[in-house]
Structure 1
Amino acid sequence: MPRQLLTYLDACLPDLLDEMRQWIEIESFTRDITAVSWMVNVVGERLSKLGASVRKYNGKPQADHLLASWPGEGEPILIVGHVDTVYPPGTIDEFPFRIDGDVVRGPGVSDMKGCILLTCAALQALRHFGRWTSRPLKFLITTDEEIGSPTSRRYIEEQARGCRAALIIESAEEGGWLKTWRKSVSMYDLVITGKPSHAGVAPELGISAIHELSYQIGQILPLARPEIGTTINIGKISGGTAANVVAAEAHCTIDVRARKVGEAERVDQALHQLAPRLAGAKLSLEGGVNRPAMEPTPATMALYAAAEQIAKQLNLPIKASGTGGGSDGNFTSAIGVPTLDGLGGWGSDSHSFDEWLSISQFAPRAALLARLIETL
């Protein structure tokens, strides 16, 4: 069966590459609701042809999300992907779809339109060979992953509950490794309010928001525990109006990543307990934990072991890995569903003008996903 799958998928590759070009040229930037809705409809039609029942969920203020489902018996299998990209309209003129040796390049090709198409190819192959899973199968396509999944999270968690497994089709990145863990993601904005005054004539009458911010950053950075995977980054700082004015306001952004469950909450609590050092200064903190940590639970590792056995049959390189970046797999894992991530194509350099997806690895990766769905 593995060899038959590869032969079939390789034969489909020219048509799939042409379809991929059409998908990439639909510039589905998250905030472009019309374009994202168009992309959702294209994928919905593709899945309908594979026998899926399709429905949409309210995604306002972004485009609506889509759920394709097939009936069966027992605990369902959930596949999760997204059609939105980080590339604004017009990017295709500067970064057009192109085949470059063994890779295809273009905005969103690995993150993750090429991976959604790979999933469609895997399902198409299963239908072709009559090897469809006996379990109910659900494929949730979301439209706001690139901005933190603010409206899709509830649907991801709702559809994941009670599932046998959640298969996340983010790209595998170079090396083809699967993700069994991902760090949590927390984002904050810290605003300091002080009092302006002339820095030369009456500095004592002012309250420097910049001085206060400097002190607060000194309190924030030591909260990191890099030895266990908890990191903190102050990504942006702004404040003040002129060299001779005591700054009335200052601002910084804070990025917190944590590998262990509980660490994000520890840092979150500490940030909310920050207190002003300068008399009269005021602190305002907004934000919080956006994605909980995805830890390698025994159930997830058992799911990985199943994928590893299939990969060996396909002579496909594989190992359990992880990353500091978040995905929708963080949500499914956090509610206790066995979750395996990185099941899309072999590609990398997402969010850049170098984004790519391997052509030679497309069929093997689709075969891996197909066999995993079948054997589950």
Structure 2
Amino acid sequence: MEDFLADVRALVECESPSSDLAAVARSADVVARIGTARLGVEPERIVLDGRTHLRWRLGSTPSRVLLLGHHDTVWPLGSLATRPYSVEGGVLRGPGCFDMKAGLVMAFHAAAGLDGVTLLVTGDEEIGSPSSRALVEEEAKAAVAALVLEASADGGALKTERKGASSYEVRLTGRAAHAGLEPERGVNATLELAHQVLAVSALADLARGTTVTPTTARSGTTANTVPASASFAVDVRARTAAEQHRVHRAIRALPPVLPGATIEVLGEVNRPPLEAVASAALYDRVHDLALRLGLPAPTSAAVGGASDGNLTAGVGTPTLDGLGAVGGGAHAEDEHVLVDHLPGRTALLRALVEDLLAADLG
């Protein structure tokens, strides 16, 4: 554990906010150094749109198992000043420790000496994987299974379902007029926005787990002018691809309500859902392995947040997510990792990879 915690500390103390390309590049250097020391081989550096990603090919046989993680975080530079790395009472703290730098160290220690594994560590997951998406999907298509080292759900649960995510901007165009002298000559884009916000909200289906949430909104120029333009953002989460595409078609087909108003919709499906069917066999496998190892069998959870596991499942690769550290507070001030869970969790990951490498999965 001394070496393990030293590796986590080195990663945490190299801040890596996704939006800072130089910081991400520095972090990639540290990740590469630690990974090389543990795996005995240097990674391939892949720079896409200025963002640094790392890929290890382990062994001489064709790769069968993809281990997937990211080294970027949501924390801005300077966060260490108020949230320094620490380990007290069995609790490890520091920006990015739970999401997901401890998970990267788990992957390095679990994969050492294995043959037929690809370990991919990206540098832009927290902002939706704009440059690495194709890379993740390409690696997933070549694998029999994708194991994602994102942090666990509550209590160490594995993430066997993740909602798909879509994002949109709805732009409304009306016609300006003086609000006091002749408002009737205008077409009020704010009023059109109100109609469309209600229409979009009505697309949600909570019984199916589909949320459609208008978020930021803007309209108008001055307080005494009928607004000629307005816009609002929409966040969509859905458990199934069918629901995701239902909402997509409906938003793209929104009709204007006010005579003279027009609508333009920008945006698309960002990440497909990780549906339960994609993870079921892997979850059963890891559950049985835990019992054989004398470890507590992990529970499962469906979560709303998206990860690169959505992308691997989206191309048809069996995917199990949340295999990383146990703790809590992702993206929050109380972010932490429970140190006592790290050895067993890493041993379980190792056993799962070995089991998949030995299995005849086609």
- In the other structure, the counterpart of 2:360 is none
Q: Which amino acid aligns with 1:246?
A: V
Query: What are the within-5 Å matches in structure 2 for residues 128-207 of structure 1?
Result: 132=114, 134=115, 136-207=116-187
SS at match of 2:8: helix
**1:121-171 deviation digits (Å, cap 9, x = unpaired):** 2234xx4xxxx3x5x100001011011011111001111113121000000
- Give yes or no for the alignment of 1:44 onto 2:32: yes
Q: CA deviation at 1:100?
A: 3.6
Of 337, 342, 355, 2:322 maps to: 342
CA contact (8 A) 1:233 1:254 kept: yes
Q: 1:268 to 1:27 in 2, by over 3 A?
A: same
CA contact (8 A) 1:199 1:244 kept: yes
For structure 1, the 5+ residue unaligned runs are 1-12
- In the other structure, the counterpart of 2:208 is 228
CA contact (8 A) 2:285 2:352 kept: yes
Query: What are the within-5 Å matches in structure 2 for residues 1-376 of structure 1?
Result: 13-49=1-37, 50-60=39-49, 62-73=50-61, 76-124=64-112, 127=113, 132=114, 134=115, 136-297=116-277, 300-312=279-291, 313-376=293-356
- In the other structure, the counterpart of 1:6 is none
CA contact (8 A) 1:78 1:167 kept: yes
CA contact (8 A) 2:25 2:52 kept: yes
CA contact (8 A) 2:7 2:34 kept: no
For structure 2, the 5+ residue unaligned runs are 357-362
Q: Which amino acid aligns with 1:304?
A: Y
Q: Which amino acid aligns with 2:140?
A: A
CA contact (8 A) 2:102 2:325 kept: yes
**1:333-352 deviation digits (Å, cap 9, x = unpaired):** 11111100001010221111
CA contact (8 A) 1:314 1:368 kept: no
Compute the RMSD of aligned alpha carbons: 1.6
Q: CA deviation at 1:294?
A: 0.9
* Aligned mates of 1:358, 1:208 — CA distance in 2: 54
Q: Which amino acid aligns with 2:279?
A: T
SS at match of 2:202: helix
CA contact (8 A) 1:53 1:69 kept: no
Normalised to the residue count of structure 2, the TM-score between the two structures is: 0.93
Q: CA deviation at 1:52?
A: 3.0
CA contact (8 A) 1:121 1:366 kept: yes
* Aligned mates of 2:63, 2:119 — CA distance in 1: 14
- In the other structure, the counterpart of 1:7 is none
What count of residue pairs does the alignment treat as equivalent? 354
- In the other structure, the counterpart of 1:4 is none
Q: CA deviation at 1:295?
A: 0.9
* Aligned mates of 2:229, 2:80 — CA distance in 1: 39
CA contact (8 A) 1:345 1:365 kept: yes
